[in-house]
Amino acid sequence: MNRSDGHFDEMTGLLYLEGQLDAGHASEVSAHLGSCAACSELLHALETEGVWLREALTVDDESIPASVVAAPERGAAHWGWIAAFGLGLGGAYTLWSGFVEPSLAQASSAGFTQGNLLTTLFFTGAFWKGWDAMRSLMEFMAMATLGTVAIWLLRKQLQRFTAIAFVAGALASALMIPQPVAAADMERGDPAYTLPAGQEVKTDLIVVANRAQIDGDVDGDLIVMSQYVTVNGHVKGDILGFGQEIRVNGPVDGNVRAWCQTITLNSAVAKNVMVWSQVVELDTKATVGGTATIGTQVAQLNGQIEGDVLGGGQVVGIDGTMGHDVTIRADRLNIGPTAEIKGQTKYVGGKAPEISSGAKLASPPIVSTVKRGPDYSQGAYYWHQVMFWGASFLLGLAILLVAPGFFFDIEQACKKMGPAVGFGALFLFATPIAAIIICATIVGLSVGIPLLLLYAISVYAAHIFIAAWLGEKLIGAGVGVGPAIARLALGLLILRGLGMLPYLGPVVGLLVAMWGMGALVLALHRKISPPSAVAA
């Protein structure tokens, strides 16, 4: 100890980190660390410099003795890896039983009954018949990946200019490979497009306009992107629509897939209907030969649907004929006097369904009333919280073991709460807006999409660094990876408990996200900024 100012010097800290102090001095230093913030910060700085030195010694092409680089061996497996393995198994089981299996069951009830769900969705026309062109993209990605691996393996034999020329030439050659193009009639309205009555398009029709009106017949698929769409003619294929208001008055021999604000069906659809819209209206004259999958805010089904009905929204009304099972998840369900449901009726919502006395139901409905917010009386809620904690712990453990220096830098940046929260609030809201603007251009997709992915990972990982800082505040500073893992586990547990509190949990989550994001930005800025000259 340095008796002149009551703090210990760097040499004492280094000897303490190396475990070379005798028991008396070591206990004295440990007790002093619990009450002195300046010495704790000095010890963390010395520990971080030690980590950077070890990383520098492991750089390629350096002849360093193995005894210096190798980490000290342990007699048994580390408890962190055992916990990670157990949490990984539990998380995989929870993911399958809680998300994948129910989704497969719902998709099966919606009419996707083929053996391979992915084949049903993407390659047999469930969304669009143009997915077979994905094979060309897969071939291109495989070739690009192979070229990247080859360049990495040969990085020491190739000069920098040669490698850049090789990559540029390979990409240019790949882009010059002719791609298969499906035959289609592309029409662009300025500002409106109309297919006159009596005229027939012998192939697929693709329309981009402010207002589109299809009065003639389409022998293939109709793909339309327009603010207002009206289909009065006969479409012999599928309808894939994107717009604000879509109205289908003519017969459709295939499927209807739509993403819009309002959709109205007044005709016969031979196959299935899949709609994501704010308002969905099925007229009394409308018929659907297959299944209907509806995601909406308000839906009124007055027509006839031969297959299953799978719907979710705020208010769903049924006053038509449903030929098979009906599964609804909404806030309210109204079954009118002229409604007829020939299969099983299942309803999950916040309020009891309103069923008219004149409605014809094949069997009593199965009603499950759920309340909003977490259900603290169910054991599954706490099991999910344990799994969420485990997922955060696994990610934090991976970052700590792969990049310990970067992890400790962000943890130290968390101590600057004011600047961290300010920068975090800026980047938390400005980054997705900037990424979306970049994605608006075709060239910017390669930058905007990875930026959005990195942004999502950063937002999720923000609470991990706050948890490490919180654990240090509670149990004090420690030396080595083991104490860092303990601090991380304790901090994550406390943050998870705070997040479970009603009303206060979302506020804590937002504050932690901004704080952690700002600390990450400060640490990255410190990494990439050039070191300033030290004053004499």
Of 312, 369, 300, 367, give the one whose Cα is nearest residue 339: 300
d(CA 53, CA 40): 20
In whole angstroms, give the CA distance from residue 58 to residue 68: 10
**What per-residue confidence (pLDDT) applies to 215?**
93
Inter-CA distances, 531 with 158, 412, 525, 527, Å: 31, 18, 11, 9
Per domain, the residue ranges of the chain are 10-69, 188-271, 273-372, 379-528
With H, G, I as helix, E, B as strand and everything else as coil, classify residue 345: strand
Q: Taking 60 as the threshold, does the pLDDT of residue 68 lie above it?
A: no
SS3 209: strand
Task: Tell the residue number behind the tokens 């027509």, with chain if given.
Answer: 303
8 Å CB contact between 300 and 319: yes
Residue with tokens 């299944």: 291
- The dihedral formed by the CA atoms of 249, 253, 255 and 259, expressed in degrees to the nearest 10: -30
Q: Give the residue among 101, 110, 118 at the shortest CA–CA distance from 312.
A: 110
Using 50, 70 and 90 to split pLDDT, how confident is the model at 431? confident
Residue 406 φ then ψ, to 5°: -65, -40
Contacts of 98 (CB under 8 A, 6+ apart): 384
Cis peptide before 191 (omega within 30 of 0): yes
* Ranges 9-23, 82-96, 156-170: which has the least confidence: 156-170
| Partner residues linked to 265 by β-bridges | 248, 282
Residue 260: strand pairing partners: 277
Question: For 283-429, where are the E strands, in sequence order?
Answer: 287-288, 292-301, 304-305, 309-318, 321-322, 326-335, 340-341, 345-349, 354-355, 360-361, 366-369
Tens digit of each residue's pLDDT (9 = 90 or more) over 107-166: 555 444 444 444 334 333 333 444 344 445 444 555 555 556 556 555 555 555 454 554
* Residues 384-419: tens digit of each pLDDT: 888 888 888 888 888 888 888 888 888 888 888 888
In the chain, the amino acid numbered 145 is T
- Counting every residue written for the chain, the total comes to 536
State mean pLDDT over 432-461.
78
Q: For 157-176, how does the pLDDT look when each residue is reduced to its tens digit (9 = 90+)?
A: 555 545 455 445 555 555 45
Percent of all residues in the chain with a pLDDT value above 70, rounded to a whole number? 69
pTM: 0.47
How far, in Å, CA of 250 to CA of 269, rounded? 9
Phi, psi (deg, nearest 5) at residue 57:
-75, -20
End-to-end CA, the chain: 27
Backbone conformation region of residue 480, classed left if phi is above 0, alpha if psi is from -120 to 50, else beta = left
Tell me the residue type at 226. Answer: S
| SS3 assignment, position 8 | coil
Q: Give the start-end residues of each E strand in 129-191.
A: 184-188
Whether 237 and 221 have beta carbons less than 8 Å apart is answered as yes
pLDDT, tens digit, 9 for 90 and up, residues 293-338: 998 889 999 999 999 999 988 899 999 999 999 999 888 899 999 9
- The pLDDT score that the predictor gives to residue 287 is 93
